[in-house]
A and B are shown apart, each in its own frame.
Chain A
Amino acid sequence: MSTTTTTTAGGVRVAKPTVASHVHDYWGRVRGGDIGSLPAILGLIVLCLIFGIARETFFSAINFANLFSQGAAVIFIAMGLVFVLLLGEIDLSAGFASGVCGAVMAVLLTDHGWQWYTAIPAAMVTGLVIGFTLGLLVAKVGIPSFVVTLAAFLAFQGVLLLLLSGGTNVSIRDSFVLALANKNMSVWLSWVLAIVAVAGFAVAQFVRVRGRAARGLASDPLGVVVGRIAVLAIVVFIAVAILTQERSINPAVISVKGVPIVAPIIAVALVVWTFVLSRTRYGRHVYAVGGNTEAARRAGIPVDRIRISVFVICSFMAAIGGILAASRANSVDPNSGGSNVLLYAVGAAVIGGTSLFGGKGRMIDAVIGGAVIAVIDNGMGLMGFSAGTKFIVTGLILLVAAGVDALSRRRAAATGNR
């Protein structure tokens, strides 16, 4: 620990943070049970190594690109679920809500001749309405979210069947919608966006540090800030370098290269929701209600409205997930959003480090957890395991993640971190 101190914030003396103290503090938090996404990141690396060694094709550019479109729908639903989980609630209907919204879009496009720019908003509005209804039932009527969304889970399955007039498969031919999950950006656009993203992150970091330093507040040491930016830059640039390789099996016929369009869509959602959660008053109130509802109520926070809003956000994100899933499958069928979709999404959020007990979780959790799920699904598929084995393994990993969550909570309670 450094012995240098800095006088900050009106005279409260605190230890001046250094790179060493930062690492020390982080390690202290991990040991104290605040492990965040660490197990998911380590798990992701281990899984990639196992699958990469077992099947060479796992590390091929084409498979890497596939991971994005395979994981996109689950990641979006998981992002919405993070909000609901932050309040300690659950939305079991998010999977079929995504199916219903996808079906609304598909039916409007194919059967009613709508254009994508009206059909997609219609699907999103459907998501908002679903979320508002669920939230109202939970917050105002007071039915536990488990029961409300379990009922909705069944009901939406029925709605989906009715929308698809008894179970026909509605195919999508709109080129814009199909491009969302299946097309790539041009190589130069991929690089431009990557550089803009990294530069934007760097600027945001430095502005924050300078702003705090100017006020005489303790700020992150330069080494940590530079390290953070460097890690992001390395990850992003390596990913873009791989994705801009030619990955068509027969390049003479058709050229396939560039970052999949879903990647920036995921990135935008990640940035927007991370901003909302960590930098706005609303996000602060979501954490407060999740941490201690009574304290939030006494502080004058409209608890019911916050509770409704997280269900609205969850179903809205599920709607986007449903649109991407429909785009990827080129169609909507009665099982869209069914089978493993919801459990994968809940799994993604929890594996990423969002607590099932509320109050703890970040948006990046959904992306990291979603990546773990996508890698398991993809890697085990490549190794020729059956769907049955995949479900069992994914189920076990979800159980492990929830177990880690519960145990780290106990550890945190024992060490006084909670």
Chain B
Amino acid sequence: MAVTPLLEIRGIDKSFGPVQVLHDVGLSVFPGEVTALVGDNGAGKSTLVKCISGIYTIDAGTVTFEGREVTIHTPRDAAALGIEVVYQDLALCDNLDIVQNMFLGREKTRGITLDEPTMEQMAGETLAGLSVRTVKSLRQLVASLSGGQRQTVAIAKAVLWNSRLVILDEPTAALGVAQTAQVLELVRRLADNGLGVVLISHNMNDVFAVSDRIAALYLGRLAAQVKATDVTHAQIVELITAGRSGDLGLPPEKPSDYVDITPGDEQ
């Protein structure tokens, strides 16, 4: 690939006390592409995202953003680089309207007063740039929006700030069929607009529908990062559940490496 990755992480380790959650994880995200991050519960997806977005600090490894090595200590550092995270639970205020939510914490002001017209204009332009035309009014309370519209607002909030990399944590988890399609279309459009997109998802259909690359995490290790066109549905499921699929993925583990402490039968 001639293009330099937007975000490249190498050898990330992260432990919480005695528990090592991430082992030597590497990941590349390219601009204009959707990189799906998949893995079973507890595989370390959320931890990895929190390391990238500055909520957790990494124990070892390097983060390279646009070819420069960077250190991200706080969410503010991540935001300054142009990394925005759209959380699963949305983080929107129901009692505020669309514009107020999109500018929450970063309101435009003129003197001491809020510059509402400018904010409304910028919000409108951002939504229009994402081809969102389903809201009745930008001054609608977020409480009155459907799940898909709320997710749209959350995503639009993330791209408003000239962000370069948008990380979406399970954006379609709570949505219906039509709304899921709407949000996936939006995700695709983000990438088409030249942003790097990381999509965390459990849903293989969603993953294959929009992603260019798929990175599978297995027990805190990166099993494989592959092009979506090179693999099948079943191979990804194998990577998620077993960590390898044919010649893809982690080397076969030696039973002596692990001590089984799982109570009861494995699910």
A residues with CB within 8 A of B: 8-15, 32, 211-212, 215, 217-218, 279-281, 284-285, 287-288, 290-292, 294-296, 298-301, 359-360, 412, 416-418
Nearest CB to that of A33 among chain B residues?
Answer: B143
Is the Cβ of B91 less than 8 Å from the Cβ of A299? yes
A-B contact pairs, 7 of them (CB 8 A): A10-B125, A215-B121, A218-B137, A218-B139, A359-B95, A360-B95, A417-B144
Nearest CB to that of A294 among chain B residues?
Answer: B91
Interface centre among A10, A11, A298 (most CB of B within 10 A): A10
Nearest CB to that of B131 among chain A residues?
Answer: A11
Is the Cβ of B125 less than 8 Å from the Cβ of A211? no
Is the Cβ of B133 less than 8 Å from the Cβ of A288? no
Complex Cα distance A295/B139, Å?
Answer: 19
List, in ascending order, chain A residues with CB within 8 A of B95's CB: 287, 290-292, 359-360, 418
List, in ascending order, chain B residues with CB within 8 A of A279's CB: 113-114
Nearest CB to that of B138 among chain A residues?
Answer: A9
A25 to nearest B CB, angstroms?
9
A38 to nearest B CB, angstroms?
17
> Beyond the given A279-B114, A290-B95, could you list 18 further A-B residue pairs with CB under 8 A, ordered by the A residue number?
A8-B138, A9-B120, A9-B124, A10-B129, A12-B124, A12-B135, A15-B137, A215-B118, A215-B121, A217-B120, A280-B114, A284-B96, A287-B96, A294-B91, A295-B104, A300-B105, A360-B95, A417-B143
A373 to nearest B CB, angstroms?
26
Is the Cβ of B104 less than 8 Å from the Cβ of A217? no
Is the Cβ of B113 less than 8 Å from the Cβ of A280? yes
A278 to nearest B CB, angstroms?
8
Interface size on B, residues (CB 8 A): 43
Complex Cα distance A416/B138, Å?
Answer: 17
Is the Cβ of B105 less than 8 Å from the Cβ of A296? yes
Complex Cα distance A416/B125, Å?
Answer: 26
Select one of B114, B123, B136 contacting A9, CB under 8 A: B123
Is the Cβ of B132 less than 8 Å from the Cβ of A12? yes
Is the Cβ of A418 less than 8 Å from the Cβ of B138? no
Is the Cβ of B136 less than 8 Å from the Cβ of A15? yes
Complex Cα distance A279/B107, Å?
Answer: 11
A204 to nearest B CB, angstroms?
11
Is the Cβ of B117 less than 8 Å from the Cβ of A217? yes
List, in ascending order, chain A residues with CB within 8 A of B141's CB: 417
Select one of B100, B121, B144 contacting A284, CB under 8 A: B100
Within 8 A of A (CB), among B122-176: 122-129, 132-133, 135-139, 141, 143-144, 146
List, in ascending order, chain A residues with CB within 8 A of B60's CB: none
Is the Cβ of B143 less than 8 Å from the Cβ of A281? no
Select one of B106, B112, B128, B132 contacting A299, CB under 8 A: B106
Given A9-B138, A215-B117: A292 touches B124 (CB 8 Å cut-off): no
B34 on the A face (CB < 8 A): no
